Structure 1
C-alpha cells in the first residue's frame, strides 16, 4: 500500500468510485431490502403473484435469508473494492452475475404466476441492469490489464 492510502485518501477513493458504480450499490441495496421484506412476519408467498415461488424455492425464509445475505456480501465487496488502491473487478463481475441470475429467477417466478403486475416493469430490467454491471466491471478489468481506453 502507498503511504497516502490511509485516512482521507481512503475516503476520497471510495467516494470517487461510488458514482460510476451506483447501479451496483442500488442492486445490492434492493436485494438486501427484498430479502428483508420476505423475512417480515406477514406471509408474502400467500399473495397471488407469489404462488409459483412456493414451488421454486424451499421457503419464503430461505429466499429472504439468501437475498439478505447476498445483498450484504455485495455491499461488503463494493466497499472493499472501493477502498483498495488496486481495484478487483472480479468481485463486481461475480456479484453482478449472481444478481442477474437472481433477478432473472424472480422475473421467472412472477411470470409463472400468470399475474400481470408492476413486476414486469421492474425485475426484468434489474436483470438487464446486472448485465450492464457485468460489462462495466469487465471493462474496468480490461483497463487494468491493458491501460485506459481513453
Structure 2
C-alpha cells in the first residue's frame, strides 16, 4: 500500500487541498514574516505600540525566532498533511490552536499598550480566523471518522 509520497499524486493532493486551507497557509506565512521583521536590526519593541511586549516576552529576538520557527513548522505540517493520502487533521488543529494563542497574545500586548492603531483591525481577526481553522480541521476529522455527508 502506497503512503502517497510518490509520483504526481503528491502534487495533485497538495494543490487540491491548498484552496480550502489557504488561510492556514496565509497565517503561517504571516507568522514567518512577523518573526523576520522582529529579527531585523532595528528595534521594534521601542515603539510605543509595542511597549507592553517588553514585559510579556523575554526579548524581541526570542519572539522573532519563536514566530519564525512556529510558522515554518506549520508550513511543514501543511505540506505533510497535503501530501498524505490519508489526511491528519490533528496537525492542523494543533497548529491553528497555537496560532490562536499567539495572535491572541499579540492582540493582548497591543491592547495593553493603550495605543490605538491598525493592530485592532488585524490581530484579533487573525485569532478568530484561527478558531475557524480549528473548526474546519475538526470537521475534516469528523468526515474521516464518520464518512462525508451529503
| TM-score, length of structure 2 as denominator length | 0.97
Higher helix share: 1
Matched, 1:43 2:38: no
**Aligned counterpart, 1:147:** 147
* 1:4 shift after superposition: 7.2
Q: Quick one: distance in 2 between partners of 1:70 and 1:88?
A: 18
Provide, for residues 2-50 of structure 1, a one-character-per-residue CA deviation record: whole Å limited to 9, x for no partner. Answer: 3876211110010000000000000000001000000000000000000
Q: Cα RMSD over matched residues?
A: 1.2
Q: Which runs of 5+ in 2 are unaligned?
A: none
The secondary structure found in structure 2 opposite 1:22 is helix
2:81·2:88 contact (CA, 8 Å) conserved in 1? yes
Unmatched runs of 5 consecutive residues or more in structure 1: none
Distance 1:5 1:38, change over 3 A: closer
Instruction: Report the Cα distance in structure 2 between the residues aligned to 1:3 and 1:65, rounded to whole angstroms.
Output: 33
2:143 is aligned with 1:137: no
Aligned to 2:109: 109
| SS in structure 2 of the partner of residue 58 of structure 1 | coil
Partner in structure 1 of residue 12 of structure 2: 12
1:93 corresponds to: 93
Counterpart CA distance in 2 for 1:95 and 1:10 is: 22
**Partners in 2 of 1:89 and 1:130 — Cα distance?**
14
Structure 1 residues 45-103: Cα deviation after superposition (integer angstroms, max 9, x where no partner): 00000000000000000100000000000000000000001000000000000000000
Hey, what does 2:31 align to over in structure 1? 31
In the other structure, the counterpart of 1:127 is 127
Q: How many residues were matched structurally?
A: 150
